[in-house]
């Protein structure tokens, strides 16, 4: 069977599963299905890196490369994202034209990172932190912000900073939520682009291997530390900016920030991090 035929067969099976999920009238414990995936996903990573504690995977490649970790720790003494966090705090509390502010949209003083992403049953879609920030802006007559960098990334960085240590526990409790989760899972494992690579191909199959001068990070912990200040960018950026960059690296067309595909991918990837803690923002090369 040709590669194209296999791909079409897998796509057909995936669509059948989605249809079954959508039409099922049975009482299904969707969270149990997700929890089983989490156990398998994390077990695979632990098998590849048996000496790394689960919590440490939130540090990305620095969990598996001691030399890089040492250099990173030195950078973290005076982190390059500090200014972005301060600016994000000011933006978070800045009054809108109507006298309100972002602070009025988020409880607990804004320390709500562990509430996102989640599946909004009324809207029928995954809501990310950056999406919620823009929702608040537009609801108050303000313009939405760029979904990859700038002020949106700074506000997100501030919320992440004051939420550090919050446990990750993505809930998938309905057929609609599970469908979005499956779409994110399919995106993660599907090959694309000129290099015919998948997220899993790089960060599971080849995790820990050398790619030019860099070591490929393991998939576990990818969503815990965003937004990040990348030295390559010279500024802070969102998770969806990183997704777009990954797509470009393999010769695939990047999608728009906060597209349904990227939000579903974030939903799946964050679910795979259940049991870890949020520790953003962070610095990366």
Strands 214-215 and 210-211: antiparallel
Active site residue 105: no
| Catalytic residue, candidates 136, 199, 246, 273 | 246
Residues known to be catalytic: 246
């Amino acid at each position: 069977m040709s590669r194209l035929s296999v791909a079409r067969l897998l796509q057909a099976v995936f669509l059948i599963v989605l249809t079954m999920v959508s039409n099922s009238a049975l009482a299904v414990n969707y969270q149990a299905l997700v929890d089983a995936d989490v156990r398998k996903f994390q077990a695979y990573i632990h098998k590849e890196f048996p000496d790394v504690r689960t919590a440490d995977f939130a540090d990305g490649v620095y969990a598996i490369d001691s030399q890089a970790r040492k250099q990173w720790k030195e950078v973290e003494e005076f982190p390059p994202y500090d200014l972005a966090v301060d600016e994000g705090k000011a933006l978070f509390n800045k009054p809108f034209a109507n006298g309100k502010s972002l602070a009025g949209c988020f409880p607990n003083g804004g320390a709500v990172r562990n509430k996102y992403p989640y599946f909004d049953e009324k809207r029928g879609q995954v809501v990310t932190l950056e999406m919620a920030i823009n929702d608040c802006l537009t609801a108050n007559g303000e313009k939405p912000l760029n979904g990859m960098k700038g002020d949106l990334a700074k506000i997100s960085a501030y919320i992440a900073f004051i939420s550090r240590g919050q446990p990750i526990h993505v809930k998938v409790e309905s057929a609609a939520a599970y469908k979005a989760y499956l779409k994110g899972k399919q995106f993660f494992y599907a090959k694309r682009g000129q290099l015919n690579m998948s997220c899993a191909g790089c960060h599971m199959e080849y995790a820990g291997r050398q790619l030019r001068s860099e070591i490929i990070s393991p998939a576990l912990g990818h969503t815990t530390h965003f937004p990040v200040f990348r030295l390559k960018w010279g500024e802070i950026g969102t998770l969806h900016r990183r997704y777009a960059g990954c797509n470009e690296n393999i010769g695939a067309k990047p999608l728009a920030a906060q597209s349904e595909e990227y939000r579903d991918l974030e939903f799946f990837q964050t679910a795979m991090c259940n049991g870890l803690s949020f520790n953003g923002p962070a610095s990366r090369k």
